[in-house]
Amino acid sequence: MSLDNFDDFKDEAALWDVYAQLMAVRGVNLNKLAATWPEQEKKKLTNPVARLEFEELCDKGCASAVLAFILVVMRFSPELPALWSHIAGTREQRRKVGLLFQRTAQKVEDTFSDWIKADVKMPHYLTAKGIVPPPTVAASLRFYSRFLNLEESLTSGEIRSSEEVVKYLLTSYIKKATGRFRDRNAATLIGEIVGQVDYNEVAQRMWRSRNYARLDKNIAGLTGFLFAMGVVIDARVRNITNS
């Protein structure tokens, strides 16, 4: 199936393709990597049952690259805050830059308020040069502000830890991609990754009943993004396979 049939995922497709171009400069074919990397990650599962659960979830609708990504993040979830600080800078640095981005976004909206209210379209000769309209500039600045301070966003309010965020992402992604929670599949993978050999379907169902609604209210958008990226990645991988 062509990606052209997935109009809702055009932004994610553009994001993936831009990142693929950046990686190509470094000599990495991102689409080919997406076709082979999930299998490598599946082989790291020491429990043969966990590997079978991985395969079953992919057969039921999960994108193998997204499923593998969530499992990798789950492995390193206790170190995520420190890793993010190493990648994006200290918390104080990120807070200052994030505030600057937020204030600049507000300035852009205030300065071009008439343009924004009238929904003026950017002339083609400008868009052809990569010039984007003011609303897009403001939205981009706010996105990068949230992105820089992702750690605080995911560990504030009703969200208690990065570990439970990743557990939610696996649970919610399986539900969105396959149409069911599939607690047995999820429990086997979680138990394998976190080292809880006695973690089973009943324990996963109980965790869901206590935590899922609370987390879903705050971070359901992450699941939507992962699902969309899975659709895009699968389409790109199919293009490689069929070419």
pLDDT in tens, 8-52: 677 788 778 878 888 888 899 999 999 999 999 999 999 999 999
> What pLDDT is attached to residue 86?
55
HEC secondary structure over 60-126: HCCCHHHHHHHHHHHHCHHHHHHHHHHHHCCHHHHHHHHHHHHHHHHHHHHHCHHHHHHCCCCCHHH
What is the residue whose two structure tokens read 């505030």?
99
The CA-CA-CA angle for residues 138, 140, 142, to 5°, reads 70
Q: Among the listed ranges 1-10, 88-97, 109-118, 177-186, which one has the minimum average pLDDT value?
A: 1-10
Q: Contact, 204 vs 187, CB < 8 A?
A: yes
pTM of the model: 0.74
- Using CA of residue 132, residue 138, residue 140, residue 144, what is the dihedral sign? positive
Q: Find the radius of gyration of the CA atoms of the chain.
A: 20
Q: What average pLDDT does the structure give for the chain?
A: 84
Per-residue pLDDT for 153 more than 60? no
pLDDT of 185-226, one tens digit each?
999 999 999 888 899 999 999 999 999 999 998 788 889 889
Alpha helices in the chain (DSSP H): 10-25, 30-43, 48-60, 64-75, 80-88, 91-111, 113-118, 124-127, 134-148, 150-154, 162-178, 183-194, 201-242
The residue with greater pLDDT, 197 or 181, is 181
DSSP state of 168: H
Label residue 57 by pLDDT band (50, 70, 90).
very high
